[in-house]
Amino acid sequence: MTAKAKDTIINIGHVSKSFGDKKVLDDINLYIRKGEFVTFLGPSGCGKTTLLRMIAGFLEPDEGTISMDGADLKGVPPHKRRLNTVFQKYALFPHLDVYDNIAFGLKLAKKPQDEIDKRVRKVLKMVSMSDYEDRDVNSLSGGQQQRIAIARALAGQPKVLLLDEPLAALDLKMRKDMQIELKEMHQKLGITFIYVTHDQEEALTLSDTIVVMNEGKIQQIGTPIDIYNEPVNAFVADFIGESNILDGTMLGDRRVRFIDHDFDCVDEGFGVDTPVDVVIRPEDIYIMSNLDSAQFTGTVRTCTFKGVHYEMFIDTDEGYELMIQDYNSFEPGSRVGMIIKPSDIQVMHVECLSNVFEGEVYDDHTVTFLGGDFEARASAFEPGDRVCVDVPFGKVDLTDHKEDGTVSGYVETILYKGNHYHLTVRTEYGDKLFVDTNDVWDKNDVVGIRILPKDIHLTKSE
């Protein structure tokens, strides 16, 4: 991404980072504007905290550059960067009172005492703790300690404030209260906030811009509204809010087929008869008792009151399950009709259509891939030939006992697609494969992986 230099405070170009043989960040390109509230959002292990720590100066990238106000930060130690970090665990000094905790960095910088007094009073007022200068930090609640940590970071008058999951240790009510205070603080200060969280609601509440990350890569950058309404792939759609994610086929411009029905949509440029993922938010399916006016029909299986709305699971007549959120309730067992407007259908490109691996032929009936020797129809090749191995998602069999598989692995992600589960499985050797199944698995389940010879398709590798 590019931006006008006068608008940009942080510029990250082609940054990569590995720990051992694991690539934590893979070619990250991102700019952050002055005064912006940017959130790095993603699951544990996606690389968001590593990226924040590199901006802070606690880690150096293996490749690429990070600059601030146009100056390269390579080799610049954390204390010489015009930014401060607020950590999840606060990192307050237990032997110092509130005043001295906030003043600590200013004293190290040998600021005049009257300036220290002025700054401490100012930041305490910002965090609504003006009368707490002499309090022992151990006597404060978690929310109060977090305010002091933020005040200490602000006392140094940074151009950028980095916040690494700062609200994670707080209870739900206090976390929501602090979200409001952080948003107000950002608006008053006008400085750049860079925030790390795995909480999608927190990201939607706080941010001007959200950077969604997964497996060391940026999946999507956009405003909260863009990210929610226009996710670019199934991962983003599933991670941000509730979604119905379904297999579909783009019939042509503005026409898509899913749940065994054809629908008008607003998407173009996908081609004809192209496999796609379709996202429908639960609040965007209109439900009614009138079956004659409906696009499709089904039966209410469950109806749960959620405070603001009712959440219902509907079994369509074609065998799909949909989540619907509506202000009106429909009793379980009720026959209902449903309508989806064209503008409420989000069509996305699919990541891939089948599993493709590099392999090597061992003999006429054995091919090695995924770190194991699989039975396969390989008589058309010579031993030692490098081959491309293609396995459809629905042709991978998972077993409860890893010993029963040719290789083993664990369930990394689970995505429900209306009438089946789409799993990501990580093998014992670190390879990734996708599995479509009707069996119910839990995240991190250890599994054996079996593939029948007839389901392994081989072509000569270039």
Q: How far is CA 387 from the centre of its chain?
A: 34
- Residue at token pair 């009138």: 290
pLDDT, tens digit (0-9, with 9 covering 90-100), for 114-168: 998 888 888 888 888 888 888 888 888 877 888 888 888 888 888 999 998 888 7
Closest CA to 56 of 32, 83, 27, 26: 83
Q: Is 144 helix (H, G, I), strand (E, B) or coil?
A: helix
Give yes or no for a contact between 203 and 224, defined as CB atoms under 8 angstroms apart: yes
Strands (E), 21-158: 22-33, 37-41, 63-68, 71-72, 83-86
Q: What is the pLDDT along the chain (462 residues), one digit of tens a residue?
A: 444 456 899 999 999 999 988 899 999 999 999 999 999 999 988 999 999 999 999 999 999 999 999 999 999 998 889 898 888 776 788 888 888 888 888 888 888 999 988 888 888 888 888 888 888 888 888 778 888 888 888 888 889 999 988 887 777 887 888 888 888 888 888 899 999 999 998 999 999 999 999 999 999 999 999 999 999 999 999 999 899 999 999 999 999 999 999 999 999 999 999 999 999 999 999 999 999 999 999 999 999 999 989 999 999 999 999 999 999 999 999 999 999 999 999 999 998 889 999 999 999 999 999 999 999 999 999 999 999 999 999 999 999 999 999 999 999 999 999 999 999 999 998 899 999 999 999 999 999 999 999 999 999 987
Q: What are phi and psi of 237, to 5 degrees?
A: -60, -40
Identity at 405, one-letter amino acid code: G
Closest CA to 259 of 196, 213, 324: 324
Distance CA 197, CA 185 (A): 18
Q: Identify the burial level of 18 via C-beta atoms within 10 angstroms of its C-beta, where 0-12 means exposed, 13-18 middle and 19 or more buried.
A: middle
Distance CA 259, CA 153 (A): 52
- β-pairing, 372-375 vs 407-416, is unpaired
Look up residue 379 and give its DSSP letter.
T
- Residue at token pair 């100056």: 71
Distance CA 125, CA 430 (A): 51
Q: Is 458 helix (H, G, I), strand (E, B) or coil?
A: strand
- β-pairing, 37-41 vs 209-214, is parallel
Query: And the tokens for 322?
Result: 């949909």
Look up residue 112 and give its DSSP letter.
-
- Cα distances from 406 to residues 143, 149, 440, 449, in angstroms, run 51, 52, 21, 6
pLDDT at 2: 42
Q: Please name the residues in contact with 71: beta carbons below 8 A apart, sequence gap of 6 or more.
A: none
pLDDT, tens digit (0-9, with 9 covering 90-100), for 224-283: 999 999 999 999 999 998 999 999 999 999 999 999 999 999 999 999 999 999 999 999
Distance CA 318, CA 330 (A): 20
Distance CA 347, CA 275 (A): 10
Q: Please name the residues in contact with 202: beta carbons below 8 A apart, sequence gap of 6 or more.
A: 39, 167, 175, 179
Which residues does residue 427 pair with via DSSP β-bridges, in sequence order?
409
pTM: 0.86
* CA end-to-end distance (rounded Å), the chain: 33
Give yes or no for a contact between 274 and 250, defined as CB atoms under 8 angstroms apart: yes
pLDDT at 160: 93
